Amino acid sequence: MNLPSFLQQAPPGVAVDLAPGRVAVVRLERRAGTAALAGYGVETLPPGAITGALGAPNMADVPLVAAAIGRAAAAAGVRPNRVCLVVPDSIARVSIVKFESLPARAADLHELIKWQVKKTTPFSMDEAVISHTPGAASAGGHEFIVTVARRDVVAQYEQACELAGAHAGVVDLSTFNVVNAVLAVGRPVAGDWLLVHAAATYVSLAVLRDGQLIFYRTRGEESEGSVADLVHQTTMFYEDRLQGRQFTRVLLAGGSTAAGAEQLRQELSARLALEVSAVDPFQAAPPADRSPMAPALADALAPSIGILIREGAAASSC
C-alpha cells in the first residue's frame, strides 16, 4: 500500500552493531535512491564485556556497553533515537525448516514452527523469542528460516541501546546483514555462493542459491577443528544433500581481524579451487566524502550497512 508521504515513517538511518570486543555505529544517507556512508564510529570493548553466549546473559555491565554506544554515536556525528540493532550470531539458533503444507492461520503456523525447533533449542520455549521468514522456493513444500534466542539475552542488547538514548526498532543477526550488504551491491547474484564470516568469537557459514539462503551454520570458538575444516564439511554437505555442484564465488568477512587471515584465505582458495574475496560493503554504500576505507572498517561496518540498506529498501517498497 502506498501512503501519502506525510504518513510514511522514514526507515532508521542509524544502526548499532554490538559484538564481542567492539561497538559500531553507522549512519547512512539516501540520495536519489542510493545509500552513502555519512558517518561511523567504532569503540573497542574490554574482554568479556559482551560474551555472545547462547544460553546465559551476555553483559555483566550493561551501562559500560551503553557508554561505548554513546561514544561511537558521537564519532558518527549522530544522537541516535530510533535504530536498527545488530547482535552476534552466536546468541541465537538458526534453522531452515520445511513443511509439506501450511495451516491457514498465522498463529497456527507460529505454533507449528515453535514445535519443530523445540527439540533443537537448549532452553525452554517459554524463555524464547522466535522469528521466521520464508526461505527458498522448494518443490513440494515450504521452507522457513527460523531464529530462536533467549528473551533475556536479547533484552540486554536492547537495554544497552535504551541507556544510550536509542530505541531498537529492528533486531537482527550479524551474518544475515553481511549477506544483505553483498546483495545490495546491485549486480545479479546467480548460482550458489558461500559466505564465511569469521567473527571474533565464532564463525558462521551461509550458502545462498540465486539470492536465497539454503544453508546456515554457526560454530563457537570453543569448538575443535579449523575454519578450513568447517568449510570442507559444509562443502561436502552442500554437494551431498543440497544437490550442489560448485560455488560460483566464495566471500570472506571478518578476515582482517582473524588470526592468520591471509593464510586462511589461501587455504580456502586451495581447497575450493576458487579465489576467495573479501566482502566490500562500500560498494553498496560508499563514503559520502569518498575517503578510502581500511579492510578492518569494512569488516566492522558491513553488518550495519547491510541492515540499513535492507530496511530502507523495505520501506520504499511499501
Domains of the chain: 5-91+150-316 (3.30.420.40), 93-149 (3.30.1490)
In the numeric block, which cell numbers belong to residue 192? 550458489
Type of residue found at 16:
V
Is residue 80 over pLDDT 70? yes
Give me the phi and psi of 268, to 5 degrees please: -65, -40
Average pLDDT rounded to a whole number, residues 164-185: 95
CA dist., res. 67 & res. 63, Å (int): 6
Is residue 309 over pLDDT 90? yes
Secondary structure class of 104 (helix, strand, coil): coil
Is residue 226 over pLDDT 90? no
Q: What contacts 180, CB < 8 A, 6 or more positions away?
A: 306, 307, 309, 310
For the chain, what percent of residues have pLDDT higher than 70? 93
Quick one: which of 229, 233, 206 has its CA closest to 217?
Answer: 206
Specify the pLDDT at position 3.
Answer: 45
Average pLDDT rounded to a whole number, residues 216-226: 87
Quote the mean pLDDT of the chain.
Answer: 91
Dump pLDDT digits (tens) for 81-135: 999 999 999 999 999 999 999 999 999 999 999 999 999 999 999 999 999 999 9
Q: How confident is the model at residue 206 (pLDDT cuts 50, 70, 90)?
A: very high
Do residues 309 and 180 lie in contact, with contact meaning Cβ atoms separated by under 8 Å?
Answer: yes
CA dist., res. 48 & res. 5, Å (int): 45
Specify the pLDDT at position 138.
Answer: 75
Quick one: which of 228, 195, 186, 192 has its CA closest to 210?
Answer: 192
Is residue 5 over pLDDT 60? no
Is residue 57 over pLDDT 60? yes
Is residue 2 over pLDDT 80? no
Q: How confident is the model at residue 8 (pLDDT cuts 50, 70, 90)?
A: very low
Is residue 259 over pLDDT 70? no
DSSP string, 147-205: EEEEHHHHHHHHHHHHHTT-EEEEEEEHHHHHHHHHHTT-S---SEEEEEEE-SSEEEE
Average pLDDT rounded to a whole number, residues 23-39: 92
Parallel, antiparallel, or unpaired for β 82-87 and 14-19? Answer: parallel
DSSP string, 228-292: HHHHHHHHHHHHHHS-----SEEEEESTTTSTTHHHHHHHHHHHHTS-EEE--GGGTS-BTT---
Q: 51-65, 155-169, 245-259 — which is least confidently predicted? A: 245-259
Specify the pLDDT at position 291.
Answer: 87
Is residue 211 over pLDDT 80? yes
CA dist., res. 18 & res. 33, Å (int): 28
Q: How confident is the model at residue 265 (pLDDT cuts 50, 70, 90)?
A: confident
